[in-house]
Structure 1
């Protein structure tokens, strides 16, 4: 459960929020009876609902990006989201989009190799270009010219814009999850901690 801000229960929800809740949770109050069909708590939705217009906009964008008929191949989209989750360290996105990837028919071989894609022969040149661009954008805040040129060999300009919108949108959601301690990313404060040395042991620095 997210412990940094409160959640919005059914009684407090706006009519527009109730419509969205219905699609995700059915008739349940998602705060009193948390849980989704994919095994998550659902507190990302109930927390974003604190600001109803942002909640509505965010939901429309995410569902729009996942809708069929987009210019970007859904396999490329999911590879980008999964690499986004790995490089950005977001457990929720990683778990959820394994499920989405299977729904769109991504082979298990590709899912199994997603963490070490650079040493795997499971991916096409277009898929490798997409994952390289994702890693650079999330990890270094840029896309190298050579990587972009490789993207241009396989994708149209429209597909590239859509790809970058997917990457940056899911990065934003991953950051929100970690900042607010939501879903599977509720342990972020403990990730970086000093491990005590045994007894009174101290690190000895070399003498000049």
Structure 2
């Protein structure tokens, strides 16, 4: 179960939230009858509805990233976000953005190869630079070598790099929030637990 309250529609005063709920849930009250029209649990949205200001910021991020004014291509953005979901351990971000790549016509083998992109031949040189940079952001916490950044600037414009950096970092946040609050497909037990077999360190 999500770790925070799921407010009922009657408790929500924000017109923006009500409009978004209409799009996602129809005329249902998702606090009482969960599930979006697309088949996801919908708990990301119902949790964010606790604070209309946070909800608004997330909506504005979506409008920004999907705007036709973006310099970064849709394909490059979705490769970055799918890799971000996997690297950050969020089934929500990974699963949802795999679906976007599929709608863009990306072949299944390439989508599957995002989990071990550096060991496959499915990606162009430009895409490999992008994915390496995404790993620097997600797994390296932003520690990017001068060599990597020089490669990045050789194949992307400064505006594209800024957009890539911003959208990736916002999805690191989204993935972290989803894991911490146990939302959507991240509502699951931690997979790292003690196994009963064995009595201690392997060298003992």
Query: Using the alignment, how far apart are the partners of 2:39 and 2:202 within structure 1?
Result: 48
3-state DSSP of counterpart to 1:177 = helix
Query: Using the alignment, how far apart are the partners of 1:163 and 1:196 within structure 2?
Result: 44
Alignment of 1:54-65 (within 5 A): 54-65=54-65
Shift >4 Å, 4+ stretches: 202-206
Cα offset for 1:96?
0.5
Which deviates further from its counterpart, 100-109 or 13-22? 100-109
Q: Aligned in 2, Cα 1:47/1:128: closer, same or farther, shift over 3 Å?
A: same
- TM-score, normalised via structure 1 length: 0.90
Q: Aligned in 2, Cα 1:203/1:129: closer, same or farther, shift over 3 Å?
A: closer
Aligned residue for 2:165?
164
Query: What RMSD over aligned residues (CA atoms) do the two structures have, in Å?
Result: 1.7
Cα offset for 1:19?
1.1
Cα offset for 1:66?
2.5
**Pairs aligned (count):** 202
Query: Using the alignment, how far apart are the partners of 1:101 and 1:185 within structure 2?
Result: 20
State whether residues 110 and 122 of structure 1, in contact with CA within 8 Å, keep that contact through their aligned partners in structure 2.
yes
Aligned residue for 1:11?
10
Aligned residue for 1:151?
152
- TM-score, normalised via structure 2 length: 0.92
3-state DSSP of counterpart to 2:50 = coil
3-state DSSP of counterpart to 1:184 = helix
State whether residues 82 and 94 of structure 2, in contact with CA within 8 Å, keep that contact through their aligned partners in structure 1.
yes
Structure 2: gaps spanning 5 or more residues: none
Cα offset for 1:25?
1.6
